[in-house]
Structure formats: structure tokens, C-alpha cells
């Protein structure tokens, strides 16, 4: 993921952490901004930097989703991305298709169904 962001933005984050849940993957990046982007944010141009960062994240969407799918053997059905500037962080969230096991669970094992009257 860091390499994908580095390729898109010309600089990758200094730290990254990935958390894999039952139905999602969360990738947290820290210290993502280039020196120029940091200067723009400090001068009050957050909206412009947000637009640029969103464009980078859109560029990596397909490759990042393919990386997650290849690594986990599960289909990515959703991708969400956001940035935060003070402190400098970004998050990529990949929503995964359900496990075959969860599709066949009874209501007692998984989520509860509401009874209809």
C-alpha cells in the first residue's frame, strides 16, 4: 500500500498500519503530506490539498483493491478513503464480500433476524 501511494504521490507515508477485520481492511497512513502540501495546509489551503489527495487515492483504488483481493482471497466490494491534516493521517477502508461461512450461518450464530407479525 505504501508503494502504491508513493508511486501516485511521489512520496509515501512514513508509517502505515493495516488492521484486518471480519468484513473490512483498514489501512492507516501517518505523515503522508509532501513538503509542498504541508506548506499549503499551513497557509490555509486545506481544500486544495484535500482535492489533490483524493485524486491520488482514486488513482490507487483499482491496484489497492486488487492487492487486498490477491492477499486475502476475498472480493473488495467497497472502498472509502479520507485524509486528516493536523495531525497528518490518511485512512483507506476496504469492505470485503462476506465469507461463505457467514452466508450459511443461522440467525442464532450471526446477526439476529427480526420476527414479523
pLDDT digits (tens, 9 = 90+) for 45-75: 999 999 999 999 999 999 999 999 999 999 9
For the chain, the domains span: 2-99
Nearest Cα to Cα of residue 92 among 102, 104, 78, 103:
78
Q: What is the mean pLDDT of residues 14-18?
A: 96
Please determine, for residue 8, whether its predicted confidence score (pLDDT) is greater than 80.
yes
Nearest Cα to Cα of residue 7 among 46, 49, 64, 51:
64
Please determine, for residue 101, whether its predicted confidence score (pLDDT) is greater than 60.
no
Amino acid at each position: 500500500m505504501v508503494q502504491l501511494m508513493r508511486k501516485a504521490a511521489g512520496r509515501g507515508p512514513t508509517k502505515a498500519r493495516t488492521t484486518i477485520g471480519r468484513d473490512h481492511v483498514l489501512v492507516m497512513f501517518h505523515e503522508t503530506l509532501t513538503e509542498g502540501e504541508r506548506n499549503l495546509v499551513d497557509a490555509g489551503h486545506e481544500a486544495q490539498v484535500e482535492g489533490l489527495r483524493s485524486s491520488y487515492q482514486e488513482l490507487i483504488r483499482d491496484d489497492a483493491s486488487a492487492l487486498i483481493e490477491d492477499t486475502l482471497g476475498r472480493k473488495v466490494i467497497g472502498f472509502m478513503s479520507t485524509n486528516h491534516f493536523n495531525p497528518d493521517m490518511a485512512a483507506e477502508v476496504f469492505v470485503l464480500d462476506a465469507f461463505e461461512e457467514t452466508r450459511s450461518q443461522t440467525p442464532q450464530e450471526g446477526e439476529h433476524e427480526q420476527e414479523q407479525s
